[in-house]
Amino acid sequence: MIRAALALVSASILAYEVLLIRLFSIVQWHHFTYMVISIALLGFGASGTFLALTRDWLLPRFAAAFAVSAALFGLTAFLGYVAGQSLPFNAPALIWEPRQLLFLLGLYVIFLVPFFFGATCIGLSFLHYRGRIGRIYAVNLIGSAAGSIGIVALLFLLDPVPALMLVASLALLGALLAVPRIEGSRSRGFAATLCLGILAVVLAMPSTWSDPHPSPYKALPRALEVPGTHVVDTHSNPLGYLSVIESREVPLRHAPGLSLNNTQSPPAQLGIFTDADALSVITAFDGDLAPLAYLDFTTSALPYHLLNGPSVLVVGAGGGAPVLQAIYHEATTVDALEVNPDLISLMRDHHRDFAGGLYDRPEVQAHAREVRSFLAQSDERWDLIQLSLLDGGSGGGGSLGENHLFTVEAFQDYVRHLRPGGLVAITGWVQLPPRESLKLFATALEALRREGVTEPARRLALIRGWSTATLLIKNSNITTSDSGDIRGFAEARSFDIAFLDDVKAEEVNRFNRMAEPFLYQGAVALAGEGAAEFMARYKFDIAPAGDDRPYFHDFFKWRSLPEFLERSARAAGFLEWGYPILAATLIQALPLSLILILLPLWLWHQRGVGGDGKVRNFLYFAALGLGFLFIEIAFIQRFILFLGNPLYAAAVVITGFLFFAGLGSALSTRMGAQTPDDARPAPLATRRSAVVLSTSLIAAMSVAYLFALPMVFERLIILSELARIAVSLILIAPLAFCMGLPFPLGLAELSEARPRLVPWAWGLNGCASVMGAVLAQVLAIHFGLNAVVLVAALVYILAAVAFSWPATSSRPAT
């Protein structure tokens, strides 16, 4: 029964982590969500510290402690969310208002509590079943695997809040399963009443408290302040929470970057907000093209003036605006890619009449696909591939900043899928100082060079309006006729040329004047021989992103930090949040982890208890926590392109690693991770051999996969989705299986020699996992994903060395 309870609690913890990220991405901004939940996961470390200090008192009361912890996990998981969103934390004000730091601290504490109670259930089980650690760890991992895949499936069926109720209820069911093991009928009665009482509280929570309340500074709540504006429709899946709004009194009129020469108002629109932000629109369409004439007055309309009746591939179709633009310009076929299937069903089903059946027109094909895997499986070629960096539709960028749409390899894919004379067009915001446009330009140059083009600059054109810029990449040289068309298009709309191979300095800063034509100067520098030096000296990181470092939106340079700090809050708008938040998470997690790890050691030292071998054990368990997360995170990223969707990649890889590691852990009992009380302890030599063998295999396999995976993926990407998921699991299985061995083997040894250190090692592993997840991102940004895997291999070798270290004392500690 306890094992079933442990499996339920393990599944609930993992599901809760995913849910919390989902819910708080609606309420807050996702970078902050990531930071808050990373720190909150230190609840695992805090639980280890707590158990290390209270072990003697809790162990005789195991079942009661387990049941109460599981019940409190269920309660605080739900109440934590309700309390967390009621705190007036306002992330954008963090730079101005010191009190926001207090609210942030409040969020850390509120969310740390449920993870603390959940982890306590697992840690207690390790302590109680000290002779069966392998099996207990297996139950924990396989339960977590079920939670990981289960929550993704559940989020397709339920909104996040009911899903949270269900997850909290599962934890309470876990608590109830432990109740029969409690000694004393009164205690059992009390525990059962507590669980049922908490369940009643969770289920009876009024929806006004539990519904997500987005920050008033996010775009959706601000739009809803406009009279006559209301939400007509919501759709939720693991990719995002969509709110469709209608504004009867004040029409939406969303058309980013429209030329000032345009005189037409956009037709009626419905707004679609993803996670209460990122507006995309469905535009009313009845088949009449005349009301769409305004779509010819954006910079993204440029490629249509160089092509006749093109076949178009739209990447990130959102509410269909780029598809309408293609139809307005007489595209013969339009393939519209949109990663979020709910956005497609909005167009096809819920608002089909409003959208004029846009996605059911004979020339339009909508695909719920990510572009890279779509192209890898397609021999088709297009005249135009349209991409956009403006908010709205999702082409497949992941939530933690990885983005495989704007890498050098992606651009090579796009160019290879063009018909002769075809164009890739990418539209983004005009930024001052320029960042995105210059990085796109540098990426295009590098991609063309890799395709063997000797004069890549001759294939590029860049124009800018007052708020958007569009880059064209042609798969042959831009002709004089093309240049004439580009100039004519720009002149008629008061757009400026920012780059053409034959551009003249006097035509780059005419209509939309900057103090200097920064974009032109940057593009010319990038196209010239001093490009490397220019990129090195530029204050933002504009070097092209690659599939190995797919962080297009990371513009941060440490060298520029003093200048940002000097300008303090005023310059905050120029800081893309991703990297600084990651660094802030690391800076906070490191000392907190160290405190949690060192506190029990210090207290034991004060009391004169404990034992030696702490350095060895510290290195061993820290290495395992770091290594596991390094490999898991690198593999999620690696599998995104193969599985064709960041969500599937995360779900399949995490589930695969947890499940097969669970099987490994179960098998570890035969290698010395199980020492039934009535049997002789397994020989140390067997255990050491098993650890050295498994860690060596992990190091060898992970490095081998670096070379093998690209080849396997290239050959097998043509398979169906299900077959690719199966292949992924088969590839992950042997590596994950080995990764399930070292932790229970080490813990089994510890439980014999130094049982006091077992919860400490468990907590240490938890802290190392948090650090591992954050460090893996930092390493990937700076050195690439391959480097993360290489470091992981080294870390596992370090674990083997640490484990082989002779313990300085053979006496059993207390």
Q: Which residues bind other proteins (CB under 8 A)?
A: 90, 92-93, 95-96, 216-218, 221-222, 225-227, 249-258, 260-265, 430-434, 466-467, 494, 510-516, 518, 521-522, 525, 530, 533-534, 537-540, 563, 567, 569-574
Q: Given the complex with other proteins, which of 9 and 252 has the nearer CB atom?
A: 252
Whose Cβ is closer to other proteins: residue 126's or residue 538's? 538
Rounded-to-10 torsion of CA 684, 689, 691, 695: 160
Nearer Cβ to other proteins, position 180 or 216? 216
Residue 256 CB, nearest distance to other proteins (Å)?
A: 4
Nearer to other proteins, 484 or 530 (CB): 530
Q: Are 696 and 797 in contact (CB under 8 A)?
A: yes
- What is the rounded CA–CA span in Å between residue 47 and residue 49? 5
CB atoms within 10 A of CB 234: 13
Q: Which is nearer to other proteins, 263 or 606 (CB)?
A: 263
Min separation Cβ 589 and other proteins, Å: 26
- Closest approach of other proteins to the CB of residue 431, in Å: 8
Which residue, 419 or 539, has its beta carbon nearer to other proteins? 539
d(CA 17, CA 13): 6
Question: Residues 498, 469: contact at Cβ < 8 Å?
Answer: yes
Distance in Å, CB of 130 to other proteins, minimum: 53
Name the CA radius of gyration of the chain, rounded.
28
Q: Find the shortest distance in angstroms from Cβ 807 to other proteins.
A: 56
Asked whether the beta carbons of 24 and 213 are under 8 A apart, the reply is: no
Look at residue 683 and give its three-state secondary structure: coil
Closer residue to other proteins in complex, CB, 564/805: 564
Helix, strand or coil, per DSSP, at residue 264: coil
Q: Which is nearer to other proteins, 87 or 598 (CB)?
A: 87
Q: 113's torsion region: left (phi>0), alpha (psi -120 to 50) or beta? A: alpha
Please, which residue, 200 or 250, has the CB nearer to other proteins? 250
**Beta carbons of 728 and 585 less than 8 angstroms apart:** no
Looking at the Cβ atoms of 382 and 518, the one nearer to other proteins is: 518
CA angle 710, 659, 179 (to 5 degrees): 160
- Minimum CB–partner distance for residue 21 and other proteins (Å): 22
Angstrom distance (rounded) from CA 70 to CA 173:
9
Least separation in angstroms between residue 465's CB and other proteins is 8
Give the E-state strand segments of 621-681 in sequence order: none
DSSP 495: -
Cβ at position 342, least distance to other proteins in Å? 23
Supply the angle between the helices 30-40 and 578-607 in degrees, to the nearest 10. Answer: 10
Q: How far apart are the C-alpha atoms of 109 and 814, rounded to whole Å?
A: 32
Supply the minimum distance, in Å, between the C-beta of residue 80 and other proteins: 25
CB of 339 to other proteins, least distance (A): 23
Mention every residue, 6+ apart, whose C-beta is less than 8 A from residue 318: 272, 280, 281, 338, 343, 392, 393, 394
Q: Among 435, 429, 424, which Cα is nearest to 387's?
A: 424
From 334, 364, 332, 333, select the one nearest 348 (Cα to Cα). Answer: 364
CB atoms inside a 10 Å sphere around CB 30: 20
Between 174 and 392, whose beta carbon lies closer to other proteins?
392
185: its two tokens: 């009928």
| CA distance linking residue 500 with residue 188, whole number of Å | 79
Select 204 or 569, whichever has its Cβ closest to other proteins.
569
Rounded to the nearest whole angstrom, what is the least distance from the CB of residue 530 to other proteins in the complex? 7
Q: Shortest approach of other proteins to residue 92 CB, angstroms?
A: 4
CA 517 – CA 58 distance, rounded (Å)? 69
